[in-house]
Amino acid sequence: MVEGEHEDYKTICDRLRNNSYKLTPQRQTILRTFLENSARHLSAEDVYSLVKNEYPDMGLATVYRTLDLLAELGILQKNDFGDGRSRYEFTRKDEHHHHHLICLNCGEVSEFDDDLLESLETVIFKRNRFKVVDHDLKFLGYCQKCQSTLE
């Protein structure tokens, strides 16, 4: 994700406070972890492994609760990439959709920013009078690194 496409740290903190949530050291650490890893799609387990050195007393349950809260407030977007673990990323400020490329071998997730479905959404509306408000598209295949090992 390009810097500036999500809310900044101060805005997120204000949003928590405005919704009557405390800005605990654990929540601050988890938010900073996402800011420092904004190009990645982190699972709760990923976050836990990244923060456990700074906060050894923070449990995995705290990470799960915090991620659920941040998703509920619309700060993070929760994704299901079919690997049995929810992955999170910042919710974008703009309405531009992006899609995910998921490697079936190593599990790497990357983003594809070109939204080629806008014209399809227009056709759907014209033909079916169905207004699409969101879509989720995942491309499954093999990343460049794994393609070379599979040959």
Indicate whether 13 and 85 sit together in one domain: yes
What pTM did the predictor assign?
0.69
Indicate whether 14 and 62 sit together in one domain: yes
The 10s digit of each residue's pLDDT in 129-149 is 999 877 777 888 899 999 988
User: 94 falls in which pLDDT band (50, 70, 90)?
Assistant: low
In a domain, 40, yes or no: yes
* DSSP secondary structure code for residue 139 in this structure: E
Kindly report the backbone phi and psi dihedral angles of residue 35, in degrees, each rounded to the nearest multiple of 5, phi listed first. Answer: -65, -40
Q: Would you say residue 104 has pLDDT above 90?
A: no
Indicate whether 23 and 83 sit together in one domain: yes
The 10s digit of each residue's pLDDT in 6-23 is 578 888 888 899 899 998
Count of structural domains within the chain:
2
State the Cα–Cα distance between residues 110 and 104, nearest whole angstrom: 12
User: 4 falls in which pLDDT band (50, 70, 90)?
Assistant: very low
CATH number at residue 50: 1.10.10.10
Indicate whether 81 and 131 sit together in one domain: no
Indicate whether 86 and 142 sit together in one domain: no
In a domain, 3, yes or no: no
Q: What is the pLDDT of residue 81?
A: 82
In a domain, 1, yes or no: no
Indicate whether 25 and 61 sit together in one domain: yes
Indicate whether 15 and 73 sit together in one domain: yes
- Can you give the residue range of the structural domain that contains 117? 99-150
In the sheet that holds 76-80, the strands lie side by side as: 42-43, 86-90, 76-80
Q: Tell me the residue type at 8.
A: D
